[in-house]
Amino acid sequence: MNDVLRTLREARPAELNPDAPVGDEVRRAELARAMAAPAGSGAREARVPRRSRVRPAWGLGLAGAVAAASVGVVAVTSGGDGGPKAPGHGPQAGPERPLDARTVLLAAAEKLDGTSEPAGRYWHKSTVGTSSWLARGQGGERYTVLLMERSDEWAPGGPGGKMIARQQRLGVKPASPADAAAYRRAGSPKTLSLQVPIQPSGKGGYKAMKVSTGPGTASTSRSALVDGDKVYWLGRNVTMKQLQSLPDDPARLKKEVLRWYDGHDTESSSVPMKADAWLFRVAGSLVTELPVRPKVRAAAFRLLAGLKTVDSVGRVTDPQGRTGDAIGMTEKSASGTVRHLLVIDPATGKALADERVLLAPSGKEPRPAGTVLDSSSVMTMEWTDSAPK
């Protein structure tokens, strides 16, 4: 796995600084282990990665399909082996008219209003993520595979501690039956040559990355907090105290987080982003990974309910086989038109997963419409007194 990470780092031109645009897949794969880099290794910049997901900052591959391209409806499903299936093979949203996004979000907020979380020394977050990659097969034939990984983080509840990260690659598999057929034509190799975008996806060339199709061993590492107290990235470096102090009123929460909005992407100052898309990402982080109070997560759902650009997708199934209601927003990226989804458990109001689905590829994007670019399934999000030794 170290060879994979080295290839990913080398694929990024040296002249690109931390704020320069980098391919989404490369950035997520790099940031997935940014917290885990040893101190002084140079792999971590003087800022906290926004996420640590395949986004721990990393991954968004719920496997899904474009059920209706005109409205960007996506369905997601899980294979019998627990891994995601390919686009186009999941159960579509039922014949019933799906609940509108506002209803879904306000219902989730109400579920969270009456909940509480016990205190602990560490904020523990566990995710299973997938990311979509192109592989070269027989005679140069290209097919899509999904790289799956589990990521755990333990963030200290106060300043002066260390971030503990554990990563394990779960394996690589073809993304669809057609991709599986291409994989077999290539001789079902145990090692694949994946194509890593050197520049932002769709605008530059690719570099080969060798990766085994089997699972890897888990690795655990520790790193000091940025400035001794910054634990996460939310458009800027933030401390645990700042996250715990966020207001639980949606209007005040929106005003507070918009103070950090400067018209660009949460991760790159050179990529423009509209305020609604920025709020969708920030509010999504609050409900899927960050150590905020349940009432703040409820406020984040209500904040999203007030955005006119957020709409309902319907009932879907995430890669872990869990059923939820999905809401989404359509964005433009270097890859083309992308659908960003958030899957919510209607029974608990908790976020189950998020994903990005390619609706319309850009001119130079080789992956077809319907490709799930990346995803992250939330497995654990809790305060605990226990952490790896």
Question: Span 216-245, mean pLDDT?
Answer: 92
Q: What angle do CA 371, 75, 377 make, to 5 degrees?
A: 80
DSSP assigned state of 203: T
- Do the Cβ atoms of 60 and 76 come closer than 8 Å? no
pLDDT reported for residue 103: 96
Task: Evaluate if residue 56 carries a pLDDT over 50.
Answer: no
| HEC string for 142-166 | EEEEEEEEEEEEEEECCCCCEEEEE
Q: What is the 3-state secondary structure (H, E, C) of 299-316?
A: HHHHHHHCCCCCEEEEEE
Beta bridge partners of 78: 84
In DSSP terms, 221 is beta-bridged to: 165
Query: For residue 367, what pLDDT band results from cuts at 50, 70 and 90?
Result: confident
**Whose structure tokens read 């991954």?**
59
Predicted pLDDT of residue 207: 82
CA atoms of 86 and 371, how far apart (whole Å): 8
**What is the reported pLDDT for 15?**
33
Sorting pLDDT into bands at 50, 70 and 90, what band is 86? very low
pLDDT at residue 96, rounded to an integer: 61
Selected residue with higher pLDDT from 389 and 36:
389
Residue 347's CB: how many other CB atoms inside 10 A? 9
| pLDDT score for 22 | 39
Instruction: Specify the pLDDT at position 203.
Output: 54
pLDDT at 171 over 80: yes
How does pLDDT run across 286-332, given as a tens digit for each residue? 999 999 999 999 999 999 999 999 999 999 988 888 999 999 999 98
Which residue in 341, 386, 383, 381 sits closest to 359, CA to CA? 341
Question: What is the model's pLDDT at position 17?
Answer: 36
pLDDT digits (tens, 9 = 90+) for 271-280: 888 999 999 9
Provide the β-strand partners of residue 156: 122
Distance (Å) of CA 31 to CA 55, 58, 178, 223, 315: 7, 6, 31, 14, 31
Distance from C-alpha of 110 to C-alpha of 310, rounded to nearest angstrom: 19
Residue 200 pLDDT > 70 = no
Q: What is the mean pLDDT of residues 50-58?
A: 32
The pLDDT confidence band at residue 196, using thresholds 50, 70 and 90, is confident
Considering only 90-99, 175-184, 308-317, 353-362, which range has the smallest mean pLDDT?
Answer: 90-99
pLDDT digits (tens, 9 = 90+) for 114-162: 899 999 999 999 999 999 999 987 788 899 999 999 999 999 999 989 9
Confidence band for 380, pLDDT divided at 50, 70 and 90: very high
Tokens (6 digits) for 171: 């394996």
Encoded tokens for 39: 């101190």
Percent of the chain with pLDDT over 90: 56
What is d(CA 165, CA 161) in angstroms, rounded to the nearest whole number? 13
What is the torsional sign of CA 29, 30, 36, 38?
A: positive
Residue 45 pLDDT level (bands cut at 50, 70, 90): very low
- Per the model's pLDDT, the better-predicted residue between 299 and 334 turns out to be 299
- Coil, strand or helix: which one is 60? coil
Q: Is pLDDT of 373 > 60?
A: yes
> What pLDDT sits at residue 139?
81
Residues of the chain above pLDDT 70, percent? 73
Q: Is 144:174 a contact under the CB 8 Å cutoff?
A: yes
Distance CA 354, CA 368 (A): 20
Residue 255, burial from CB neighbour count under 10 angstroms (0-12, 13-18, 19+): exposed
- How high is the mean pLDDT of the chain? 78
Inter-CA distances, 106 with 116, 250, 328, Å? 18, 11, 15
